Amino acid sequence: MSVYLLDEEEIWFPPSHEYEFDLVAVGGTLTPERVLKAYSMGIFPWYNEPDMPEWFCPVERCVFYPDTFIPSKSLQQAARKQKWTYTTDKCFSDVIKHCAGNGREGNTWILPDIISCYKKLHVLGYAHSVEVWRGDELVGGLYGMAIGNIFCGESMFSRESNASKFAFWKLAEIANSLNYGLIDAQLENAHLMSMGASLIGRNEYLELLEASIMDNGLKGRWRDVNSL
């Protein structure tokens, strides 16, 4: 078993029984078609080098269950004090650019190719954003992909303390209202675990993903979010 080098033109990924590591492939062009194929197989893109996308399907997947997520008391207090409000898909482009700006000294994996591709996926109805406002000022947000009944979170940003957590709280409420089974946080870190994330095995995640696409279609139910 090995890590595959993808062809620039052919949209293909190795089957899941051949995955050994978190990293399953490198290379290929970053297009909406390739990215959608990846997400449908539990794979997501990342950049460590600016000219070589890497494609991951973690052995252990970091996930949240929307129906059990409870915001901390400190977050609830901050939301009341700051009088935050939220919207969805109001300014996707601004959100992803702010997320890219989170990297220290320009060190970010959200490169121009990522921004361009996900903006196209947003127009196609797959990539979505949650925005946090204090008055008319955008102070936080997140973006990700809605696939089946799973929301795959990509990145978040805060211009005020806890604003990104408020965005996640609202995402969890939306996901729960739409009967989403999971919010996929992809890779474990201490911050996510402190918010209540869990770890599940790769095979379990892929089984849940396959069932969710079969039951809800690839685009899923996010189209109904504005009717909630």
pLDDT tens digit string along 192-222?
A: 999 999 999 999 999 999 999 999 999 888 8
Task: Provide the domain count of the chain.
Answer: 2
In whole angstroms, what is the distance from residue 111 CA to residue 126 CA? 19
Residue 224 has pLDDT above 70, yes or no: no
Work out the average pLDDT over 53-66: 97
Domain span at residue 18 reads 4-58
Q: What pLDDT, in 10s, does the model give residues 64-119? A: 999 999 999 999 999 999 999 999 999 999 999 999 986 444 457 899 999 999 99
Cβ(151)–Cβ(180) below 8 Å: yes
Residues 44 and 100 in one domain: no
What CATH number is given to the structural domain containing 212?
3.40.630.70
- Cα four-point dihedral sign 21, 32, 169, 213: negative
Residues 8 and 33 in one domain: yes
Residues 71 and 25 in one domain: no
Residues 13 and 42 in one domain: yes
Residues 148 and 218 in one domain: yes
Residue 41 has pLDDT above 90, yes or no: yes
Give the pLDDT confidence score for residue 104 in this predicted structure. 45
Residues 80 and 46 in one domain: no
Residues 119 and 47 in one domain: no
Helix (H, G, I), strand (E, B) or coil at 51: coil
Residues 45 and 141 in one domain: no
What CATH number is given to the structural domain containing 30?
3.30.70.3550
Length of the chain: 228
Q: What pLDDT, in 10s, does the model give residues 135-193? A: 999 999 999 999 999 999 999 999 999 999 999 999 999 999 999 999 999 999 998 99
Cβ(38)–Cβ(44) below 8 Å: yes
